[in-house]
Structure 1
Amino acid sequence: MLTERVKAALLTGGFTFPPLKITVNLSPSDLQKNGSHFDLPIALSIALQKEGADFGDTYFFGELGLDGSLKESADIFPLLLSLKNRGLVERAMVPKASLARLSLIPGIEYIGVETLAEAIALLKGERPAEPTPPATIAGERMRIDGVEYYWRAEYPEDFADVKGQEVAKRAALIAAAGMHNLLLEGSPGSGKSMIAKRLRYILPPMRLSEILQATQYAILGGETPTFAPVRPFRSPHHSASKPSVFGGGSGSRARIGEVALAHLGELFFDEFPHFQKSVLEALREPLQDHRVLISRVNAKVAYETRFLFVAAQNPCPCGNLLSDRHPCRCTELEIKRYQNRISEPLLDRIELYVQMRESDPEAQPSVDSATMHRKVIDAFARQMVRGQRHPNGKLDEREIETYCRLDEAAEEALLKAVRHFGLTHRSVANVKKVARTVADLEGAETIGKRHILEALGFRRRG
């Protein structure tokens, strides 16, 4: 219990409790509070109550051991980051063991302490505080308009392992460069999962604020944070429940789900049609609005969900509808029922669609991940130089009109496509965003006809 930890730590440090009852008020009283990070401020308030110590604008966080030592607490990082984003904290006393990760949060002066006794001595002025230098991000970096972007040029799983499937690899390149949603359909063993798992390593660079936010979400999800410029990758099983995918759980605390943990990274749904219908339909909100809202009796929590969504599916229940080597055993009704598990509104939120045939075992690797990643970084840099805050795939309506400018031939080609295919307003926006990324990969300032045609070629036709 918190009370016993604080009492034991104070007694170990030589503090003598007066023959009085000590009451600590954590205001506001109507807000439920929990967490071991309250140990240090409560202990300091008790130990220094007679000193009349003025804590000023310093925040205190830390879990106390029974011997008075300060331990790391997973809650400190997300709390400090949230306070900093709201402009509420400039100075904080924290466990010294936490400095390596906490010093990544800029604009905060940290005082690292190892014991309660050391914290008391610092506040009494008996010893000076040692400044903590800011931490650095390991990896490659570039600067655009005064903003640093970071990435790792490491590819544990390489596209060089994928033989053939040139169209799918081209779609993966476009998806990564603009963070566009991607659906891969093909027979078992055609390489759908291989491409999805390699895609995570060629995603665009990250700002420091994005690295911190991804780390914050990981800690809230109980994950071990990396504090590295590596975008998250989440791949829930198709049997996953709706609360585990979108967040929730019992009690008053709204727990984070897979879609929020994938924020700024990749969310991969393998065996797409086999997910629960309620999960598939609920996916429309985070794909469209880039946020998910978890409501509980005492709290409502909104998480950002700007992720790259990748789905893989077979063309039919047996998987052999597109196969040149194995006959399909499914009836027309079974195929139709299988494909109808994915609604049109959900499919309309996926910009890129590829039908994959079986791989040619004699095909030679055409491109590796390092080459693809360099193209993604160059295309991403062009987007940021234009003044975009987000990659092309995450632009809103106003931003599409600003950044996705078409030349006359492209406008005419898109208009013909609208008339011929009956494209919805969302479909037209998706085509423009994909075409903008294709143009960025070529280094073109304006979207041309060939960019529109390639974007149209990746549309799914019902």
Structure 2
Amino acid sequence: MKKIQCATNEGIDARVVEVEATLTKGLPSFSIVGMVSTAISEAKERVKSALLSNDFSFPPKRITLNLSPSELSKSGSHFDLSIALLILLNDSSDVFDEWFVFGELGLAGDVKENVQLYPLILSLANQGLIHKAIVPQEALSKLVKIPDIEFYGVSSLNEAVEILKNQGSAQPAQHSSAIEFPFYELAEQKYYYVKEYKENFIDVKGQEVAKRAALIAAAGFHNILLEGSPGCGKSMIASRLRYILPPMQMREILESAKLQVLENKEPDFKPHRPFKSPHHSSTLASVFGGGSHKARIGEVGLSHNGVLFFDELPYFSKSVLESLREPMQDNRIHISRVNAK
């Protein structure tokens, strides 16, 4: 029995999934088990078409794919490539247990990027669970910024097959940790910053005490409460706070890029700390995260390492204000649901 590693999201963190395959004698069939989503079930048709389009024969056997652990709900089209490789290389004597494989297959056998690949692989890297992976070529420019992982970019099913057949001679993509921004270096650690100030404190006239308080809050990542009459500059000071926060380490830049992907944005890898300002009518779930079946990140999580600004604080609902106690005291937030934790 052959096995390849893959992963799925559980909340905002990744869980390793072992993709196992057996091809046995019997009436030809193709089944995928292991609490899989519709996107994974549909992989059967994509894999069949990709194999036949690239002159591979589809084995006339009883094919069973198991995604383990079975009690974990799995989703995403990035399982396609691992499923296809296990079917093609089932008779090979090579072992693929240490390989992670990600990629959606087109009907012609081309390997496509999945929007969730970056946060998925970054989460695995932070847990120290992944060391080398086969990924879509078009996602390589973003993924190679994640350190300590050997990435092998492929644009077609044939290229992925060649890598696993010739594991000893396959060459990983060049790792690129280069961030094209100026930095300070302290104790062999680089701190990146950006010379872009869309909003500048020079626009705030007067309010020297408030600006001094903002400087102290930014330097020490402290909370700050601004009180004053309408139009005196509270919102102006708050919106400019992100531009005087300390420079960012590479780890923080990668985390910010992950949050951008979770927000359905293209990661820009800029050393810009996030700034979130939810409206006072925002619901509890939108501010703190939630969801009845799948837990999703809220504004509090998306503002990690940055600024969370509550304009017109007294107008927020009582439930929102009371729920701020946990993230302010513990510096973390825990979302618990019946179907997701």
Give 1:196's aligned residue.
238
Judge conservation of contact 2:211–2:237 (CA < 8 Å) in 1: yes
Matched letter for residue 268 of structure 1: F
The aligned amino acid for 1:184 is L
Picking from 292, 311, 325, the partner of 1:284 is 325
Q: Do the aligned partners of 1:121 and 1:127 also contact (CA within 8 Å) in 2?
A: no
Paired position in structure 2 for 1:161? 203
Tell me, yes or no, if structure 1 residue 106 matches structure 2 residue 156.
Answer: no
Q: Report the CA distance between 1:128 and its aligned residue.
A: 5.0
Residue pairs, 1:84-123, within 5 angstroms: 84-123=125-164
Could you tell me which amino acid in structure 2 is paired with residue 216 of structure 1?
Answer: K
The question of whether the paired residues in 2 share the 8 Å contact of 1:246 and 1:257 is answered with yes
User: Deviation string for 1:421-444 (max 9, x for gaps)?
Assistant: xxxxxxxxxxxxxxxxxxxxxxxx
Letter in 2 for 1:257: G
Question: Counterparts of 2:91 and 2:277 in 1: how far apart (Å)?
Answer: 55
Offset of 1:45 from its aligned partner? 0.5
Residue 292 of structure 2 contacts residue 339 of structure 2 at CA under 8 Å; is this kept in 1? Answer: no
Q: What secondary structure sits across from 2:63 in the alignment?
A: coil
State the secondary structure of the residue aligned to 1:294.
coil
1:264 equivalent in alignment to 2:309:
no
Q: Identify which of 139, 142, 151 aligns with 2:193.
A: 151
The answer to which structure has the higher strand fraction is 2
Give 1:249's aligned amino acid: G
Query: Unaligned regions of 5+ residues in structure 2, if any?
Result: 1-41
Residues 126, 193 of structure 1: alpha-carbon distance in 2 compared, 3 angstrom cutoff? closer
Q: TM-score, normalised by structure 1?
A: 0.62
SS of 1:293's partner is coil
Distance apart, 1:50 and its partner CA: 2.2
Q: CA, structure 1 residues 126+139, in 2 after alignment: closer, same or farther (shift >3 Å)?
A: closer
Residue 346 of structure 1 corresponds to none
Structure whose CA Rg is larger: 1
What secondary structure, in the 3-state scheme, does the structure 2 residue paired with 1:105 have? coil
Q: Does 1:171 align with 2:197?
A: no
The one of the two structures with greater contact order (alpha-carbon pairs below 8 A, sep at least 6) is 1
Taking a change above 3 Å as real, the CA distance of residues 127 and 91 of structure 1, as seen in their structure-2 partners, is: closer
Match of 2:15 in 1: none
**Does residue 245 of structure 1 match 2:292?**
no
Select the structure that is richer in helix: 1
SS where residue 79 of structure 1 aligns? helix
Residue pair 1:211, 1:228 contacting (<8 A) in 2 also: yes
Superposed CA deviations along residues 381-428 of structure 1, whole A, max 9, x for unmatched, are xxxxxxxxxxxxxxxxxxxxxxxxxxxxxxxxxxxxxxxxxxxxxxxx
One-letter amino acid of the structure 1 residue matched with residue 269 of structure 2: F
Paired residue for 2:102? 61
Q: Is the 8 A contact 2:99 2:132 kept in 1?
A: yes
**Is the contact between residue 221 and residue 257 of structure 1 (CA under 8 Å) also seen in structure 2?**
no
Partner of 1:3: 44
Ranges in structure 1 where 5+ consecutive residues have no aligned partner = 301-462
Identity across matched positions, percent = 58
